[in-house]
């Protein structure tokens, strides 16, 4: 994955970078297959899976399921809030349905392409945000 940095003015820029990384992972179906399923990691001592990214978004940063609560702290503007709300609208029902299922079940879910698409849109919005 390419380097994720942010010049955006938010209270917790380090958490924003974690969110960017998680959204980036959700946006890249090839990465998901290679890393989450095939366990081909980019370097030694590297680990990533769906659960880690879900934890970042829902538990560690609390950006999802309600992105508005992260406005100004992690998210820079209402456009980012809306794009992450869309991601939550695609991801939440699958999490509710599959729970602790293996990553392979998530990736083969018929609605998973919607998650990837929503994550791509959110990533594009977050990357295009200038200083706020």
Tens of pLDDT, residues 42-68: 999 999 999 999 999 999 999 999 999
Q: Is 1 within a domain?
A: no
Q: Is 8 within a domain?
A: no
Q: Is 82 within a domain?
A: yes
Residue 7 pLDDT level (bands cut at 50, 70, 90):
low
Q: Is 5 within a domain?
A: no
- How would you class 116 by CB atoms within 10 Å of its CB: exposed for 0-12, middle for 13-18, buried for 19 or more? middle
pTM for this model (two decimals): 0.91
- Tokens 């081909």 identify what position? 40
Per-residue pLDDT tens over the stretch 73-93:
999 999 999 999 999 999 999
Per the structure, the complete domain to which residue 99 belongs is given by 13-128
pLDDT score for 2: 45
Q: Is 37 within a domain?
A: yes
The count of structural domains within the chain is 1
Sequence-separated (6 or more) residues with CB below 8 Å from residue 33: 107
């Amino acid at each position: 994955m390419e380097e994720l940095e942010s010049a955006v003015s938010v209270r917790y820029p380090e958490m924003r970078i974690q969110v960017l990384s998680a959204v980036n992972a959700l946006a890249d179906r090839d990465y998901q297959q290679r890393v989450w399923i095939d366990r081909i990691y980019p370097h030694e001592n590297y680990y990533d899976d769906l659960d880690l990214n879900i934890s970042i978004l829902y538990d560690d940063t609390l950006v999802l399921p309600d992105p508005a609560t992260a406005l100004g702290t992690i998210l820079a503007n209402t456009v980012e809030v809306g794009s992450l709300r869309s991601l939550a609208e695609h991801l939440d029902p699958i999490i509710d349905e599959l729970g602790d299922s293996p990553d392979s079940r998530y990736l083969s879910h018929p609605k998973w392409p919607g998650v990837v698409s929503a994550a791509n849109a959110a990533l594009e919005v977050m990357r295009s945000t200038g200083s706020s």
